[in-house]
Amino acid sequence: MKAITYAGKEKLSLKELSVPQITAGEALVKVNYGGICGTDMMIYAGVHPRAKPSLVMGHEFSGEVIEMNSESPFKIGDKVAVNPIRYCNKCEPCRLGNYHICENLKYIGIDLQGGFAEYAKIPIENLHILSNKVKEDEAALIEPLAVAVHTVRRSKFKVGDTVTILGAGPIGILIGMIAKLSGAAEVIISDVSNYRLQIAESYGLTTVNSQEKDLIEKVKRITQGVGADVVFEVAGNQITADQMISAIKTQGEIMVVSVYKKPPTIDLAKMHFRELSLSTTRCFSPKDFETAIKFMEEDKIDFSKLISHRLPIESFQEGFQLVKESGNSLKVLFAL
Ligand SMILES: NC(=O)c1ccc[n+]([C@@H]2O[C@H](COP(=O)([O-])OP(=O)(O)OC[C@H]3O[C@@H](n4cnc5c(N)ncnc54)[C@H](O)[C@@H]3O)[C@@H](O)[C@H]2O)c1
Ligand SMILES: [Zn+2]
Ligand SMILES: [Zn+2]
């Protein structure tokens, strides 16, 4: 089978590998679509602390079950989403049910062989059956949608709140969609890419190109000078780490979603004077993943607009280049 593997800093290779042999409790999945994510870019850049060369990348993917050798709730041909989180069930976070922050967490596509391959062997407990209502390509967005569900649930967001999101990448827009579905009065989202902002606008979000307009002034104008109830920082740089403190209302909550390539400086003195809260979020719980599937099945949102490119696996270099440049793409999928 063909697979995209990490071959070292800024090196990827398309390899011909043997189809994985499944063991008890596993299923063989024919992968249909796999999405490139910011974490894949960190691996590609050689700065991910855990990924090692010869890894088959890809943690946002879906497919269908084609083989299994133990009792399972699936049938051959079932369409499935893959929850990529493996946890130890022994550490303190696991004992408290917080599997997504397991101290020994392993992620399929980061620590374990992933889904940028024609086939992947996956533990049956990590598979979720999908109804025919979920489109094969959109199913690859369930994992980032679960991140958005978890982020909004973890925040202090309440119905009627005005939310500001810094960064209109796939995660930022998905957070905006979940906040809107959950009763946000207004969702303001910033980016420096007009291409991405146009897509955000088509979902009913209020957009600001923060390179062209004063974001803070706009947030203040919309909130009658008060500031946003919740700010989600989803762009991951020093500029947005500064803006998050200026855009939030007094006693408001900043939710940091970004994984920073370089740790930002955060002005705690400014935060103290207005009793601001700073929270972080990581991955999603099993329930959040199921909620994401439900949102897809209910077909309330047109997720297809988030998919900017569907490329064959042979175009792996082009796919990664598109995501690296980011301004003229959104979610880039490999069709496998
Ligand atoms: N917490 C988690 O579990 C989790 C999960 C997935 C992704 N992430 C992180 O979330 C972040 C977003 O993920 P993504 O896949 O959407 O990434 P992305 O890179 O596609 O999106 C980031 C966006 O920020 C924009 N941006 C850059 N500078 C800006 C500025 N000054 N103002 C406004 N926008 C600006 C970029 O143009 C881009 O559209 C990344 O840091 C990623 O690592 C976290
Ligand atoms: Zn991801
Ligand atoms: Zn654990």
Tokens found for residue 94: 């696991």
With residues binned 3-state (H G I as helix, E B as strand, rest as coil), the percentages for the chain, rounded to 5, are 30, 30, 40
Q: Could you tell me the distance, in angstroms and rounded to a whole number, from the CA of residue 270 to the centre of ligand 3?
A: 36
* Percent over 90 (pLDDT), the chain: 96
d(CA 61, CA 58): 7
285 lines ligand 1 (CB under 6 A): no
Rounded mean pLDDT of the chain? 96
241 lines ligand 1 (CB under 6 A): no
| pLDDT > 90? residue 261 | no
Ligand 1 atom, smallest distance to 257 CA: 1
Burial of 81 (0-12, 13-18, 19+ CB in 10 A): buried
Report the pLDDT value the prediction gives residue 209, as an integer from 0 to 100.
Answer: 98
- Architecture of the domain spanning 2-145+284-335: Alpha-Beta Complex (3.90)
- Domain 156-280 fold is Rossmann fold (3.40.50)
Q: Where are the domains of the chain?
A: 2-145+284-335, 156-280
Q: Tell me which H or E stretch contains 323.
A: helix 316-325
| pLDDT > 90? residue 56 | yes
Mean pLDDT confidence for 88-103: 98
* Percent over 70 (pLDDT), the chain: 100
**Closest listed ligand to the CA of 99:** 3
At residue 304, φ and ψ (nearest 5 deg) are -60, -30
∠ Cα 300 114 322 (to 5°): 65
37 lines ligand 1 (CB under 6 A): yes
DSSP letter at 124 equals G
| pLDDT > 90? residue 70 | no
Other beta carbons within 10 Å of 336: 24
Question: What pTM does this model have?
Answer: 0.98
pLDDT digits (tens, 9 = 90+) for 176-220: 999 999 999 999 999 999 999 999 999 999 999 999 999 999 999
Residue 268: band (very low, low, confident or very high) from pLDDT cuts 50, 70, 90 = very high
Other beta carbons within 10 Å of 302: 11
At residue 182, φ and ψ (nearest 5 deg) are -90, 10
Q: Are strands 106-107 and 85-86 parallel, antiparallel or unpaired?
A: antiparallel
d(CA 166, CA 168): 7
308 lines ligand 1 (CB under 6 A): no
Mean pLDDT confidence for 45-53: 94
Taking each helix axis from N to C terminus, what angle separates 142-154 and 170-181, rounded to the nearest 10 degrees? 60
Q: Are strands 228-233 and 248-256 parallel, antiparallel or unpaired?
A: parallel
Q: Are strands 277-280 and 248-256 parallel, antiparallel or unpaired?
A: parallel
Other beta carbons within 10 Å of 222: 18
Cβ atoms of residues 170 and 203 within 8 Å: no
Tokens found for residue 31: 């992968």
pLDDT digits (tens, 9 = 90+) for 172-181: 999 999 999 9
